[in-house]
Amino acid sequence: MIFSAIIYGTYYSSIPKDFIKVENEILYFEERIRWESETGGNTGHISMPTWYEPIISYNYLDIKYMYKAKINISLDAPDFNKSIEIFISPKNPEDARHKLSK
């Protein structure tokens, strides 16, 4: 299980050379709450800080696509000014990857 997670993470964290950069727009943010098991007590779970994951749209050949990162983009607060570069495969435009700009 851990090995497959490493392979999955490595696959989606790299951007192949044949991918092209496309213009994109952050449409909205999904709010995520992280729960963590508390050990040694009977209180159940504790909540960790909330984070926000952007949902992004991009167009390729006049077709609109939606992008939700397969590798987390965890932001402490919704930020529509955040620069997120989206790269796609011209052969399969639904295969998209992201890179956070600095």
Per residue in 57-88, pLDDT tens? Answer: 999 999 999 999 876 677 788 888 888 999 99
Q: Say which residues have a Cβ less than 8 Å from residue 67's Cβ, sequence separation at least 6.
A: 24, 55, 56, 57, 58, 86, 96, 98
SS3 content of the chain, % helix, strand, coil (to 5): 10, 50, 40
Helix (H) or strand (E) holding 4: helix 2-13
Q: Which residue has the higher pLDDT, 6 or 55?
A: 55
> What's the confidence (pLDDT) of residue 28?
94
Q: What percent of the chain has pLDDT over 70?
A: 69
Tokens standing for residue 57: 């749209």
> What's the confidence (pLDDT) of residue 70?
75
Q: Length of the chain in residues, anyone?
A: 102
